[in-house]
Structure 1
Amino acid sequence: MPSRAVLLVNLGSPDSTAVPDVRRYLDEFLGDERVIDRPASPLLRSLLVHRLITPKRAPNSAHAYEQIWTAEGSPLIVLSHRTAQKLTTALGPAIPVYLAMRYGNPSIASVVAQIAADGIDEVLLFPQYPHYAMSSWETVVVKVHEEAARLAPRLRITTVQPFYADADYINALHAVAAPYLAQPHDLVLFSFHGIPERHLRQTDSSHAHCLTVADCCITCSPAHATCYRAQIFATTRALVARAGIPSDKFTVSFQSRLVGEPWLTPYTDHLFKQLPTQGKKRLLVICPAFVTDCLETLEEIAVQGRQEFLAAGGETFQQIPCLNDHDAYIQFLATRVRRWLTDGSA
Structure 2
Amino acid sequence: MKGVLLVNLGSPDSPTAKDVKPYLDEFLMDERVIDAPKWLRNILVRGIILQTRPKKSAKAYAKIWWDEGSPLIILSERFTEKLKKHTKMPVALGMRYGSMSIKGALKELEDQGVDDVLLVPLYPHYAMSSYETVVVKTLEDQQKHFPKMKVTTMPAFYKHPDYIKALSESIKDGLQDFEYDHILFSYHGIPERHIRKSDPTRFHCKMDDTCCKINSVAHNTCYRHQVYDTTELVKAYLGLPDEQVSSSFQSRLAGDPWLKPYTDYEFERLAKEGVKRLAVITPAFVSDCLETLEEIAMEGKEEFEEAGGEHYKHIPCLNDNDAWVSVMAKWVNNWEHTGKLDVVPVD
Query: TM-score, normalised to structure 2's length?
Result: 0.96
Q: 1:77 aligns with which of 73, 87, 97?
A: 73
Q: Equivalent residue for 2:163? A: 169
Contact 2:121 2:154 in 1 (8 A): yes
What is the correspondence of 1:1-346 to structure 2 with a 5 Å cutoff? 3-38=1-36, 40=37, 42-91=38-87, 94-182=88-176, 183-211=178-206, 215-346=210-341
CA distance in 2, matches of 1:138, 1:225: 12
C-alpha RMSD over aligned residues: 1.1
Deviation at 1:55, TM superposition (A): 2.1
CA distance in 1, matches of 2:111, 2:89: 16
| Mean CA deviation greater in 51-60 or 257-266 | 51-60
Contact 1:112 1:151 in 2 (8 A): no
Deviation string for 1:55-110 (max 9, x for gaps)?
A: 2211110000000001000000000000000000111xx31110000001311122
Instruction: Give the letter aligned to residue 302 of structure 1.
Output: A
Alignment identity in percent? Answer: 51
Instruction: Give the letter aligned to residue 295 of structure 2.
Output: E
* Unpaired stretches in structure 1, ≥5 consecutive residues: none
Contact 1:174 1:239 in 2 (8 A): yes
CA distance in 2, matches of 1:218, 1:299: 34
Contact 1:23 1:55 in 2 (8 A): no
| Corresponding residue SS for 2:3 | strand
Contact 1:116 1:151 in 2 (8 A): no
CA distance in 1, matches of 2:182, 2:324: 25
Deviation at 1:166, TM superposition (A): 0.5
Deviation string for 1:124-166 (max 9, x for gaps)?
A: 1010000000100000000000000111101011110000001
Query: TM-score, normalised to structure 1's length?
Result: 0.96
Q: Equivalent residue for 2:344? A: none
| Corresponding residue SS for 1:258 | coil
CA distance in 2, matches of 1:214, 1:17: 40
Instruction: Flag the 1:289–1:119 CA change in 2: closer, same or farther, 3 A.
Output: same
* Unpaired stretches in structure 2, ≥5 consecutive residues: 342-347
CA distance in 2, matches of 1:267, 1:318: 18
Deviation at 1:223, TM superposition (A): 0.7
